[in-house]
Structure 1
Amino acid sequence: MEYSPLIQAVKEGNIELVQQRLEGGDDVNVKVEGGWTPLHNAVKEGNKDIVQFLLEKGADPHIKKDNGATPFIVAGIVGNVELLKLFLSKGADINEYDNHGFTAFMEAAWYGHVEALEFLYENGAQVNLGRQTSEEQKKLRKGGNTALMDAAEQGHVNAVKILLKEMQADVNACDNRGRNALVHSLLNPKNKKVKQIIHLLLEYRADVNVRGEKGKTPLILAVEKEDVELVQMMLEHDGIDINDTDSDGNTALLTAVQKDQIDIVQLLCKNGATVDCEELIKTAQRNYNQNMVKLLRDYGARENCPAPSKVYEPKSQRWQSCLRNLYRIYRPMIGKLKIFIQEEYKIAETSEGGVYLGFYDGKEAAVKRFLEESQRAQQEINCIHHCQENNNLVTFYGRESQKGCLYLCFALCEKTLEEHLTDQGEAALKNENFQNILTSLFKAVQELHRCNYTHQDLHPGNILIDSKGEICLADFDKSEKLDEGRQKIKDDLKALGRLVLYVVQMGKNPFSKIESQSDTEVIEACINEEIKDLVQNLLRPGEECQNQLSEMLSHPFFWNCKMRYRFLRDVGNESDIKVGNSHSKILQELNSSTAFKNWRGKIDEDVMKKMNSFYKKSKKYYRNTVGDLLKFIRNMGEHVEEEKNKDMKSRIGEPSQYFQKLFPDLVIYVYKELRKMGYRKHFPSVNSS
C-alpha cells in the first residue's frame, strides 16, 4: 500500500480525524511502503497523545517496519524520552535491534540525542553492544559498530563525551572490519567536529595504530584530510608508529607527498618520518613542486639510492639479546623466515620439535617446528584457519616448509601466564586485576567454541602475555572440532574452572596440583561465594554448555563496583520491592534467606535514622529483609546526592563502595536468586565492555 488516510491524519497530528478513521473501520496496524504504520509515524512526529490513543485502540507496540525497526527504536531515532519510557512500559526490550543491528541506544548516539542516551543507559542499554548483522553480512565484515563509533562518525561531541566519561564506553572496541571509534571519526567527510572528537578519543587512549580500509592507520587517514592540525594531534599521541604503512605500502609521509601537502610533509619529517623511499622525490617532481623536492632532500631523501642500514632495536624486552644476535648473523632464508635451530634461540619445548625465535617477513616471531606430516601440526593449522578472526588468540603470521620440516610462525610474546604470576606474584595484579586476565581468556575460548573448535589443552603455559600486556591464547595442536555430545566443550570449561582458581590464587599453587583435585575440592578452595559460583558453573555445566561462557562473562565476578551498585539499585527499583508486595515471587525468594537479617545494624546509625524518617507518617520503616535492604540501597542512590542529604553523603562516602564493603555477598546472593527464577533483565553485560 502506498497511501493510507489514517497515516496521513497521524502525520497531520489530527487526533479527531484519526479517531474518525478508526471508528470507520481503518486498520490501526495498517502498513504503507517501507512497513510504516500509524504508530511508527506518530512516534516519528513525537505526538505522544496520538501514540497513546493508537495503543489504546489496539496498535501493536512491537510492530516492525520492513527494516525491522520497532516504534521503540524510532523513538530512539527522534530522541523522545517520554515515548521511550512509554514503550519500555509496554514490554520493549531495551537492547532490541532492527535488521541492520541498530538499537534505540545506537540510534540516539547516531543522531546525537544525549538525553535519550542517558535515559536508555540508566535503564540497562548495553553501551558496548556491537551492531548485530546477518551471517551473510558478517562474511563481508559488515556490522559490529558500537554507539561510540556512531557518535564519533557523526561528529556528536557531547554524545561522545558522555559515552566515554559517564558510560565507560570501550574506546578501543572494534567493528567487524577491525576499526575503532578513532577510525570512524575520520571516515565522514562531513564531520565538522572531527578535531574535537579525536581529542576526546585520544584523551581516553584510543589505539592510534589500528587500521581502516586498505590497512590505513588513523595517521594516514588524517593526512588524507589534508589538515596539519589534525596530523599534529595524532603525532602528539604516545605510541604512534609514524612509519607504519597501509596495505599498498604507503606511509603517512608518502601520502602527504602524493597529496602535495608541503606543510604536512615538513611536520612528518620534523617528527622523524623515514625518507628512505625513492618514490618521495619522484612523486614531488611529478607534481612539479620543487620546494617539496628541496625539503625532502634537506631531510635526507634521495633518488635511486639504497636504503641506509638501520640500527635494529628489538620490540621484545625479554628476548632482545638473542634477537639482536639473530638479526646480525647471516642465515639462509626459508621463504620469508629467518631462523637458526640452535639451543640459544629455543624459547619453549614441545612434544614434537620446540619453539624458536625467528623473523617472519621482518617481524619478530615465535616459530613452532614440526615434521611436515605431523597430525598435530595439521590440527593447529585447521584451527587457526577457522578461527583467524579471534582477536584473543596469538597472531598467526604464516607458514614455511623446508627439508621435511614445517614452520608455523606466530607473533612473539613476552611470557606465559605461569611465568607472569611466578615472577611477579601479587605485584602482577596491582596493575592488571585477575578479572581482566580471565575476561580475555574466556573470550578467547568462547570464540573458539563459536568457530566449532575446542582447545583441549588449556593450562597456564599456553596462555601468553604479549609486549603490550595483552592476554593471548596459544598452542592449538591438540584442538579438535566440536563433538556431537559437546563433551569436548565441557572439557574446556572444566579446565577454565581450574584456571580461575589458579589465577585468583595468583599462581601460589601449581596448576598441576589443581588439575589433580576433584571438582568438589576445587570448588571448596574458592575464596568467596562469587568465585565459587563461577567455578561451579564451569565445572558442572548444563546441557547448553556451548553458551555457558556468554553467561559466565556476564557473571558478577566480572562486574566493577559501579556495575554492582547499579544492579542492586535496579533490582531495588522493582515496583513489588518498592511497595513490599508480599505476594511477589521475586520478593518471596529474596526474603527467604536469613543471611542479611541484621543488615540495619550495619548501617551508620544516623544514616539509618534519617532514611527511616522519610516513612514517619506511614510508619512503614525499613525491616531486616533483603527486599528492604535493596529498597534502602535504591532510595539511597536516588537521594544521597541531594543538597539536603549531604550529611549522609559525608558519612558514607561513595555509596557503591560503602555497600560493597558492608555487604560483599549481597550481589551474588541476589544474582543467584534472580538467575534461578530466570529473571535476568537487570543483569549487566560485561561481554562487550
Structure 2
Amino acid sequence: MEPADHDTPQDGATSSSSQRTTDEDSLLLIKAVEEGNVDRIQQLLDRGADVNVCEDIGGWTPLHNAVKLGRVDIVDLLLRHGADPHRRKKNGATPFIIAGIHGDVRLLQRFLSKGADVNEYDNNGFTAFMEAAEYGRVEALRFLFDKGANVNLRRETTEDKRRMKKGGATALMSAAENGHTEALRVLLSDMGAEVDARDNMGRNALIRTLQEEECEDIEEIIRLLLHHRADANARGEGGKTPLMAAVERKHKGLVEMLLSQEGINIDDRDNEGRTALRFAVELKQKGIVQLLCVKGATICEDLIHIARRNYDTSIMEILRHYEANDQSVPPAGDWLPHSSRWGQALKSLHRVHRPMIGKLKIFLDIDFKIASTSEGGIYLGFYDNREAAVKVFPEDSTRARNEIACLQGCHGDSHFVTFYGSEISKGCLYVCMSLCEWTLEEFLVEHRVETVEIGEDEFSRTVLMSVFEAVQRLHLQGFAHLDLQPLNILIDDKKAIRLADFDQSVQCMGDPRAVKKDLEALGRLVLYVVMKGEIPFETLMTQNNEKTAEMSPDEETKDLICCLFSPGENVMNCLKNLLGHPFFWSWENRYRALRDVGNESDIKTRNNESEILKRLNSRTPEPSRSFYQWTSKIDKYVMKKMNDFYKTKKNPYQNTVGDLLKFIRNMGEHINENKNKDMKERIGDPSRYFQETFPDLAIYVYKKLKDTEYRKHFPLTQSSLSVPQAAGPVDLQS
C-alpha cells in the first residue's frame, strides 16, 4: 500500500485556512489589548495568536500597548504566554521605556526583573528615566534613580540628527521645558542633576525652557533653575540669551528675575546684533524698556529711530531720558583698547553713538580710516564687541565674494587674519576681520634706520616661513592669492605674521598658472624681506627674474628665489617642499646637518667609490666657492692640531668637500673635550664659525643630496608663527 501524499490539494487548503485564521487572530489580539478585554485576549492566545505580533505603522506589539495602558494584569498575561520583553518598536522603544512614560513602578519592576537595562534608550536617545521626566512621573523617577538610572545621561541620537546638532538633552531639560515643577525639584535637590548640562546646540535647561512657548508654571521653573545657579548668560537659537527670550515672551516678571542675577550681561547681542533692549523696543514693551534702562542697558541712537517708526512716543521719551543720563558707556579713560597703534582712534569710536549694523559698529569717517582700497576702504570698527578691521565693498562686489570665500575657507588658521563675519546695509557689504598693528612694509620702513643684529637673520627666516606656510595653506584650499606684496602681509599685536587681502584671489584647483604667479611674487618678496625693504617692492616687480635672483646677498637666498621662479612640474607642492630648504635652517641646524652627513661611514673612511662621495666630490670646487682650498681657510693652529690626529698614518685632510664634512664631524665630536680648550677658544661657537667661514657649504650639500637617502640628515623645519624677539627691532610700540 502506498504512503499517503501529504501535499494533496485538500490538505493544502486546510493548512492555508489555518494560517489565515492565526494571522487574523494575531491582529485581533492587538485590538483586544487596546480595548483592555482580558477574556478576549486569553481566548485569542489559547487559539494560537502570535503574542509578539506587531502592527505595520509603528511596530507596536500587544505588550507595548498593554504598557501604554498601564494594565499590569495584561502585561503579566502576555509575558506568561511568551511576549518578548525586549522587543523594540520602529523608533527603538522597548516596553520598559514606555513604562517610564506611564510611570507605574510595578511595570518598571517587571521589566527590570526580565533583564531590561535601566539606561537602555530608543532611536531618539530617550531612556525610561528621561520619559518619566518628560511626563512628570516623580515616583518613577525616584524608583529608576534608586535602580541606577544615570540622571545626567544625554540623549544619543542618529548620526544625521547629530550633524544638525539635534539631541544631547537630559532628563532635567525635559522636566523643565514641560513645566513639571515637582519633578524638576526632585532632580535638582535629591538627585544632583547637572543644572547647566548642554544639548548638542549648546543650550542649557534655562534657555530651552524660556524658548518653549507652551511651558506651564514657567516662573517657578525659572526660579528653581536660577536658584541652583543655572547660567543666566547661556545662548539658544540665533544666539539669543535667556534675557532676550524673556523679553520676547513679554514677561516682565521673568525679566526682573534674570536681571537680579549676579553677572547678567544686559547688553549681550544675538547673532543679528540685537540686545534685550532692542527686542523690548521693537515689541513695544514699555514696562520692560523702562526696567532695562533703569538697570543700565546701553541706549543706542537707532533704538530711538525704531521707537519713532513705531509711533511709540512713550518709549521714545524713556529712551531719551536715560540716554541723557546714560552711564553705561564709560569715559574714554575708563575703557582701554587692546590695540596699541590704533588705541586713540578706537577710544573715540567707542564713545561715539552709532547705529548698529547687525553686530557691527562703524563710522565711515577719515578719523577711523586705516587704508584705501580699489572699491572702498578699510576702517576701524567693533564687531561683536571685538576690535576689528572692516573692509567696505559695494554690496554686489565680486571682490567681496572672493575675500569672504578665502577667509571662510581658511577660518581658524593662525597664518591668516581672523574672519569675524560680514554685514550688509544700504548697498554696502562690510567684511570684518581681526585688527593688526602694521603692514610688513610699514614695519620695515619704521625700523629701517635702526641697526639689525649682524649675523644670523632670524627675522627674515621667521617672517618668510610664516608667509610660505600661509600661501601653501591657501593653495591647498584651492585658491591663489594673486596680490602677494608687503602691504598685504600684516603683523598683529602678538607679533604674529598674518596673510590678508584676498579680494583678487581666484580658484586655482587644477590650474597651475595662477599658483605660478603667486610663486613669482614670493620670489621677489623673499629678496624684499632679506634686504629689509631697502629695494622697494614696486621696483622688484619691474625687474626680470634673472636680475632679481642675482641681487641675492647669499647662496641660500638665491637658490630659494630660483626655485620659486622655476618650480618645475610639481607646482602645487613647490612650497611644501621648499619649507625644508636650507634658507629656513638656523645656523645650529645647518651645523648639525653637516656633522650628521660627515658621520656617514663612507665619508669617515674616505670611500671614494661610494655614491655619497661621488656626488659631493664630483668636481674640484670652483675658486668662487667659500670651501675652495678649505684647509687654508681654517685657523692654522686648529688645522695643524686636527691633522696631528692622522700624523702617524700620514693621511692629513684633503681639500675635498667630503673631507671638510669629516673635519666638521670630528671637530664637533672633540671640541668640548678638556684637552681641546685651546681650539675651543679660537673657534668659539662652531655653528657660527663654520657658517661664517663656509657660508655656501650647507646649500651645496643640500643640492647634491636632497634627492637621495641622505636627506634624512636634513632638519625638519619647525615654523615659528611670530616675529622673533631677538631678530632685529620688533618693538611695535616704539
TM-score range, shorter chain: 0.5 to 0.7
Seen in structure 2, the aligned counterparts of structure 1 residues 634 and 401 have a Cα distance that, compared at 3 Å, is: same
Paired residue for 2:373? 350
Counterpart-to-counterpart distance in 2, 1:315 and 1:495: 33
Deviations 1:364-385 (CA, angstroms, capped at 9, x unpaired):
1110111111111111111112
Look up the equivalent residue of 1:604 and give its one-letter code.
D
Counterpart-to-counterpart distance in 1, 2:392 and 2:264: 44
5 Å matches for 1:213-612?
Answer: 278-279=261-262, 310=330, 311-425=334-448, 427=450, 433-591=459-617, 592-594=619-621, 595=625, 596-612=627-643
Deviations 1:379-403 (CA, angstroms, capped at 9, x unpaired):
1111112221321001111111111
Seen in structure 2, the aligned counterparts of structure 1 residues 280 and 329 have a Cα distance that, compared at 3 Å, is: closer
Aligned to 2:413, the other structure's residue is in SS state: coil
Counterpart-to-counterpart distance in 2, 1:492 and 1:686: 22
Report how far residue 649 of structure 1 moved: 1.4
Paired residue for 1:255? none
Deviations 1:495-543 (CA, angstroms, capped at 9, x unpaired):
0001011111111121111001101111111111110000000011111
Deviations 1:253-274 (CA, angstroms, capped at 9, x unpaired):
xxxxxxxxxxxxxxxxxxxxxx
Counterpart-to-counterpart distance in 2, 1:346 and 1:524: 40
The answer (yes or no) to whether the contact 1:390–1:448 under 8 Å persists in 2 is no
The answer (yes or no) to whether the contact 2:329–2:351 under 8 Å persists in 1 is no
Aligned to 1:680, the other structure's residue is in SS state: helix
Report how far residue 281 of structure 1 moved: 11
Seen in structure 2, the aligned counterparts of structure 1 residues 553 and 428 have a Cα distance that, compared at 3 Å, is: farther
Counterpart-to-counterpart distance in 1, 2:544 and 2:351: 51
Counterpart-to-counterpart distance in 2, 1:248 and 1:518: 59
Seen in structure 2, the aligned counterparts of structure 1 residues 657 and 677 have a Cα distance that, compared at 3 Å, is: same
The answer (yes or no) to whether the contact 2:407–2:419 under 8 Å persists in 1 is yes
Aligned to 1:484, the other structure's residue is in SS state: coil
5 Å matches for 1:98-137?
Answer: none
Seen in structure 2, the aligned counterparts of structure 1 residues 674 and 320 have a Cα distance that, compared at 3 Å, is: same
Report how far residue 485 of structure 1 moved: 3.3
Counterpart-to-counterpart distance in 2, 1:522 and 1:504: 12
Deviations 1:472-504 (CA, angstroms, capped at 9, x unpaired):
110111111114231111111110001011111
Deviations 1:538-594 (CA, angstroms, capped at 9, x unpaired):
011111111111221111111111101101101101111111011112212212242
The answer (yes or no) to whether the contact 1:482–1:488 under 8 Å persists in 2 is yes
The answer (yes or no) to whether the contact 1:452–1:482 under 8 Å persists in 2 is yes
TM-score w.r.t. length of structure 2: 0.52
Counterpart-to-counterpart distance in 1, 2:479 and 2:711: 29
**In angstroms, what is the RMSD of aligned CA positions?**
2.9
The answer (yes or no) to whether the contact 1:371–1:406 under 8 Å persists in 2 is yes
Deviations 1:97-134 (CA, angstroms, capped at 9, x unpaired):
xxxxxxxxxxxxxxxxxxxxxxxxxxxxxxxxxxxxxx
State which of 700, 703, 721 in structure 2 corresponds to 1:672: 703
Look up the equivalent residue of 2:496 and give its one-letter code.
E
The answer (yes or no) to whether the contact 1:356–1:368 under 8 Å persists in 2 is yes
State which of 631, 635, 655 in structure 2 corresponds to 1:624: 655
Deviations 1:317-367 (CA, angstroms, capped at 9, x unpaired):
222222111111110000110001112211111111111111111111110
Report how far residue 417 of structure 1 moved: 0.9
The answer (yes or no) to whether the contact 1:421–1:428 under 8 Å persists in 2 is no
TM-score w.r.t. length of structure 1: 0.55
Aligned to 2:337, the other structure's residue is in SS state: coil
Paired residue for 1:655? 686
Q: Which runs of 5+ in 1 are unaligned?
A: 1-139, 141-213, 216-244, 250-275, 283-302
The answer (yes or no) to whether the contact 2:439–2:491 under 8 Å persists in 1 is yes
Q: How many residues align?
A: 403
Aligned to 2:450, the other structure's residue is in SS state: helix
Aligned to 1:514, the other structure's residue is in SS state: helix
Counterpart-to-counterpart distance in 1, 2:410 and 2:466: 15
Paired residue for 1:9? none
Q: Percent identity?
A: 53
The answer (yes or no) to whether the contact 1:356–1:366 under 8 Å persists in 2 is yes
Aligned to 1:681, the other structure's residue is in SS state: helix
Counterpart-to-counterpart distance in 1, 2:602 and 2:675: 28
Report how far residue 599 of structure 1 moved: 1.0
Seen in structure 2, the aligned counterparts of structure 1 residues 440 and 562 have a Cα distance that, compared at 3 Å, is: same
Q: Which runs of 5+ in 2 are unaligned?
A: 1-162, 164-200, 203-230, 236-258, 266-293, 298-326, 721-734
Report how far residue 432 of structure 1 moved: 6.4
Look up the equivalent residue of 2:433 and give its one-letter code.
F
The answer (yes or no) to whether the contact 2:382–2:388 under 8 Å persists in 1 is yes
Counterpart-to-counterpart distance in 2, 1:555 and 1:589: 19
Aligned to 1:410, the other structure's residue is in SS state: strand
Report how far residue 612 of structure 1 moved: 1.3
Aligned to 1:323, the other structure's residue is in SS state: helix
The answer (yes or no) to whether the contact 1:448–1:454 under 8 Å persists in 2 is yes
Counterpart-to-counterpart distance in 1, 2:493 and 2:588: 30
Seen in structure 2, the aligned counterparts of structure 1 residues 643 and 317 have a Cα distance that, compared at 3 Å, is: same
Seen in structure 2, the aligned counterparts of structure 1 residues 590 and 470 have a Cα distance that, compared at 3 Å, is: same
The answer (yes or no) to whether the contact 1:519–1:539 under 8 Å persists in 2 is yes
Look up the equivalent residue of 1:390 and give its one-letter code.
D
Deviations 1:271-310 (CA, angstroms, capped at 9, x unpaired):
xxxxx9943699xxxxxxxxxxxxxxxxxxxx97879654
Counterpart-to-counterpart distance in 1, 2:405 and 2:449: 38
Aligned to 2:608, the other structure's residue is in SS state: coil
The answer (yes or no) to whether the contact 1:383–1:453 under 8 Å persists in 2 is yes
The answer (yes or no) to whether the contact 1:453–1:479 under 8 Å persists in 2 is yes
Seen in structure 2, the aligned counterparts of structure 1 residues 562 and 405 have a Cα distance that, compared at 3 Å, is: same
The answer (yes or no) to whether the contact 1:453–1:480 under 8 Å persists in 2 is yes
Look up the equivalent residue of 1:564 and give its one-letter code.
R
Report how far residue 616 of structure 1 moved: 2.3
Aligned to 2:448, the other structure's residue is in SS state: helix
Deviations 1:211-233 (CA, angstroms, capped at 9, x unpaired):
xxx99xxxxxxxxxxxxxxxxxx
Look up the equivalent residue of 2:460 and give its one-letter code.
F
Paired residue for 1:129? none
Counterpart-to-counterpart distance in 2, 1:248 and 1:547: 45
Counterpart-to-counterpart distance in 2, 1:428 and 1:642: 37
Aligned to 2:713, the other structure's residue is in SS state: coil
Aligned to 1:373, the other structure's residue is in SS state: coil
Seen in structure 2, the aligned counterparts of structure 1 residues 320 and 277 have a Cα distance that, compared at 3 Å, is: farther
Look up the equivalent residue of 1:321 and give its one-letter code.
Q
Report how far residue 618 of structure 1 moved: 2.1
Look up the equivalent residue of 1:331 and give its one-letter code.
R
Seen in structure 2, the aligned counterparts of structure 1 residues 672 and 281 have a Cα distance that, compared at 3 Å, is: closer
Counterpart-to-counterpart distance in 2, 1:617 and 1:277: 93
Which structure would you say has the larger Rg? 2
Counterpart-to-counterpart distance in 2, 1:493 and 1:611: 45
